[in-house]
Structure 1
Amino acid sequence: MKKNIIMYTMLFLLCSFSFIRAQTAEDKKQISTAVTEILKGFQTKNGDLMNAYVNKAYGVGVLFKSGGDLGFVLNEEVDFDMPLGYIEKAWNIRNQFPIQFGDVSQYDSKNKKWKKEGLFVQFNSNSVNDYVDKFSDVSSIKDQDIFKINSDPEDVVFVTLAENSKENAPINGFRFVMTRIGAKWYLTLIDVTEYNAE
């Protein structure tokens, strides 16, 4: 009897582990497709392609720095005919790297370049909570829906396309946040904080 309980327990744990692995594999597949299409949309300035991943209820926020202070603007959708915070129309990306799951590359603000080039996708990212802590009026920022849905790191993926280019400096690459809402991953925040607009 004791052996049967142990055997059933082990079987249950193995099945649970297999389900978790399958879910992670499905997330990676869905995120890989979304990242590829979002970057292609940005590269070709195709808002429709990017908007397929924007949740209509939450929109897409743009995080930026101006005079050293962190700020953000909320847009209903990506529209390259209108200003998207501090995203310049001439901002170009090459988007030539394969996706690497894991830690992201760090940006060297002093030298205006990435420490390591590549396309990095970081699961379980606490990046949005870190940004919220940097706003001067934290309480009102945390109350906004776009930040509330990003408060649980398990539902947040931070994407960094780290590209160093002399002609684009100080704007190199592209960063954005994807959030799991229900069973789908959405583009919720675009991070242009490496470019300090004055």
Structure 2
Amino acid sequence: MKKNIIYTLLFLLCSFSFSNAQTADDKKQITLAVTDILNGFQTKNGDLMNQYINPTYGVGVLFKSSGDLGFVLNEDVNFSMPLGYIQKAWNIKNQFPIQFEAAPAYDSGNKKWKKEGLSVQFNSNAVNDYADKFLEQYSIKDQEIFKINTDPKNVVCVTLAENTKEKAPINGLRFFMTKIDTKWFLTLIDVTEYDAE
């Protein structure tokens, strides 16, 4: 009996160590990518961001218009072209260190984040939650960009929660990264907290 308990503990310990090794590599990749993506938004440098966009899938933008959820797919980020709803997110400050924790909540009534900071949340199911909210006639779940995000283990939600003193339609930025093969890619930019109209 004692042998079984010891073997079980050893197995769990080894599994935990292996899981941490994977997470450490993921954290390293994600930290570099998040830094570059946010710097790309700050400096309006699409090339800096586009190295993290998979050419097969592109990058999607989730937004709301008149209360309805909308979606547009772009091949890449090009700041010389009109990017619609993304444009409001260009004025980020990006002054917080990365915290690997759950994304903070947004108070849409007061248009403020309940907690400021830069969070990276592993195992995010938010993309699936958004896909469930689209009207059925849009067949969003059939879009490749949503199919690659169905497994939460391969998705991280990055939230830069910034509250500005002036009246601004956008405070910070939220986006999703997806692990495809062994690399993390920017797959969706989420500006759904902010109604475009």
TM-score (norm 1): 0.92
Distance across 2 between alignment mates of 1:7 and 1:89: 56
Q: Residue 93 of structure 2 aligns with which residue? A: 94
Distance across 2 between alignment mates of 1:144 and 1:115: 33
Distance across 2 between alignment mates of 1:104 and 1:194: 13
In the alignment, residue 30 of structure 2 is paired with which amino acid? Answer: I
Distance 1:168 1:57, change over 3 A: farther
Q: Residue 67 of structure 1 aligns with which residue? A: 66
Give secondary structure in 2 for the equivalent of 1:87: helix
Distance 1:193 1:89, change over 3 A: closer
- Consecutive unaligned residues of structure 1, counting only runs of 5 or more, are none
Distance across 1 between alignment mates of 2:119 and 2:128: 19
In the alignment, residue 110 of structure 2 is paired with which amino acid? Answer: N
How many equivalent residue pairs? 197
- Consecutive unaligned residues of structure 2, counting only runs of 5 or more, are none
Structure-to-structure mapping, 1:44-63, within 5 angstroms: 44-63=43-62
In the alignment, residue 128 of structure 1 is paired with which amino acid? Answer: V
Shift of 1:66: 0.6
Deviations 1:91-135 (A, max 9, x none): 301100011111111111111111111001111001001101111
Give secondary structure in 1 for the equivalent of 2:85: coil
Distance 1:54 1:90, change over 3 A: closer
TM-score (norm 2): 0.92
Identity across aligned pairs (percent)?
75
In the alignment, residue 41 of structure 2 is paired with which amino acid? Answer: F
Between stretches 184-193 and 75-84, larger displacement belongs to 75-84
Q: Residue 125 of structure 1 aligns with which residue? A: 124
Structure-to-structure mapping, 1:28-177, within 5 angstroms: 28-88=27-87, 91-137=90-136, 140-167=139-166, 169-177=168-176
Shift of 1:13: 4.2
Shift of 1:10: 5.1
Distance across 1 between alignment mates of 2:138 and 2:45: 35
In the alignment, residue 72 of structure 1 is paired with which amino acid? Answer: F
Q: CA RMSD in A?
A: 2.0
Q: Residue 193 of structure 1 aligns with which residue? A: 192
Between stretches 38-47 and 16-25, larger displacement belongs to 16-25
